[in-house]
C-alpha cells in the first residue's frame, strides 16, 4: 500500500493566480497612474509569460522574475519603478497566500496515515518557503522541497526522486497530487509514482493520470479512499 503522499503547492493547495491578481491590484492602487488596472494587469500577464520563455531559453536569471516583470510592465505604461513597488507586490503576495477552503482538513486526515511531502517548482526558494509558511500549511508536511534549492525542476524525475529519498519511500509506494498534466502527472509517472490530476475550477481528465480529483471535495473523497486502503494494508 501507499506510504507517502506528495503535493504540488500553487494551483493545488493555494490559488496563485488569485493571489497574484490581488497583489497586482493592490500595487496598482498604490502608484500614481491614469492607466486602468485592466491594462496594467494585462501587460503584467504578458510579461510573466515573456519571462518564462526567456528562462526556458537560458537568456535570463530566474531570480529576476519580479523585477523583470514589473520593470517591463511599468515601462510599457510610462510609470517609474522603484524598489518599494516590488516590496509592495511581494508583501501582498505573502499576505494573500491562503489555502483553498477545506485543504487543511484534507491534509490533517492524510497525515494520520501517511508521510506527507510538498514538492513545488519555484526559482526563488526563500520566497516560496515564506509563502508556504504564510499559507499556514507548513507543519502538515514531513518534508518540503523547493526545486530551485537543487536546480532541478519538475517534470524531471530526479526532483521527485530527491523528495522520495528525504521521505525514505520508494516511488511505487508514493502518490503525487498536482494540477499540471506535464509537470505533475507526467513527472510523477516518469519517476514511477502514482499520480493524481487535481482541477479546482474546470474538470479535466487525462489518460496519463492514475486518479482525478475535482475540487477540494474530490481530494476529500480520495483521502477517504487512500486512508481506507492504508487500513486494509496494515
Q: Which H or E element spans position 57?
A: none
Question: What pLDDT, on the 0 to 100 scale, is given for residue 232?
Answer: 46
Q: Which H or E element spans position 22?
A: helix 16-30
pLDDT above 90 as % of the chain: 91
Whole-angstrom Cα distance, residue 121 to residue 149? 10
Q: What are the chain's domains?
A: 4-15+98-233 (3.40.50.1000), 16-95 (1.10.150)
Contact at 8 Å (CB) between 14 and 135?
yes
Flag whether pLDDT at 234 surpasses 70: no
Q: pLDDT tens digits, residue range 33-42?
A: 999 999 999 9
DSSP type of residue 100: P
The pTM assigned to this predicted structure is 0.93
Flag whether pLDDT at 119 surpasses 90: yes
Mean pLDDT value of segment 140-154: 97
pLDDT above 70 as % of the chain: 97
Residues facing 99 on adjacent strands = 14
Question: What pLDDT, on the 0 to 100 scale, is given for residue 233?
Answer: 53
Question: What pLDDT, on the 0 to 100 scale, is given for residue 201?
Answer: 78
User: What's the helix, strand, coil split of the chain in %, to 5?
Assistant: 55, 15, 30
Q: What are the grid coordinates assigned to 22, written together?
A: 490581488
Q: pLDDT tens digits, residue range 17-57?
A: 999 999 999 999 999 999 999 999 999 999 999 999 999 99
Q: Is the dihedral of CA 27, 126, 4, 231 positive or negative?
A: negative
Contact at 8 Å (CB) between 178 and 184?
yes
Phi–psi pair at 26, nearest 5 degrees: -65, -45
Unique residue bearing C-alpha cell 514538492: 119
pLDDT averaged over every residue in the chain? 95
If you count DSSP H runs as helices and E runs as strands, how many of each does the chain have, helices first? 10, 6
54-58, long-range: CB within 8 Å, 24+ apart, which pairs?
55/123
Amino acid at each position: 500500500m501507499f506510504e507517502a503522499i506528495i503535493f504540488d503547492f500553487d494551483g493545488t493547495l493555494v490559488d496563485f493566480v488569485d493571489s497574484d491578481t490581488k497583489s497586482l491590484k493592490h500595487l496598482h492602487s498604490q502608484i500614481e497612474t491614469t492607466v486602468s488596472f485592466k491594462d496594467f494587469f494585462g501587460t503584467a500577464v504578458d510579461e510573466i509569460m515573456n519571462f518564462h520563455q526567456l528562462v526556458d531559453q537560458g537568456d535570463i536569471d530566474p531570480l529576476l522574475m519580479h523585477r523583470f516583470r514589473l520593470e517591463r510592465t511599468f515601462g510599457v505604461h510610462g510609470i517609474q519603478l522603484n524598489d518599494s513597488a516590488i516590496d509592495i507586490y511581494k508583501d501582498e503576495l505573502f499576505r494573500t497566500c491562503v489555502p483553498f477552503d477545506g485543504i487543511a482538513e484534507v491534509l490533517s486526515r492524510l497525515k494520520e496515515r501517511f508521510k506527507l511531502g510538498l514538492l513545488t517548482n519555484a526559482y526563488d526558494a526563500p520566497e516560496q518557503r515564506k509563502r508556504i509558511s504564510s499559507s499556514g500549511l507548513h507543519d502538515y508536511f514531513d518534508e518540503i522541497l523547493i526545486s530551485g534549492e537543487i536546480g532541478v525542476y519538475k517534470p524531471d524525475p530526479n526532483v521527485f526522486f530527491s523528495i522520495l529519498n528525504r521521505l525514505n519511500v520508494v516511488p511505487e509506494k508514493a502518490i503525487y497530487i498536482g494540477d499540471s498534466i506535464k509537470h505533475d502527472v507526467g513527472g510523477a509517472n516518469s519517476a514511477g509514482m502514482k499520480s493524481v490530476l487535481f482541477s479546482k475550477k474546470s474538470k479535466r481528465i487525462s489518460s496519463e493520470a492514475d486518479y482525478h480529483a475535482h475540487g477540494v471535495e474530490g481530494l476529500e473523497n480520495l483521502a477517504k479512499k487512500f486512508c481506507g486502503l492504508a487500513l486494509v494494508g496494515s
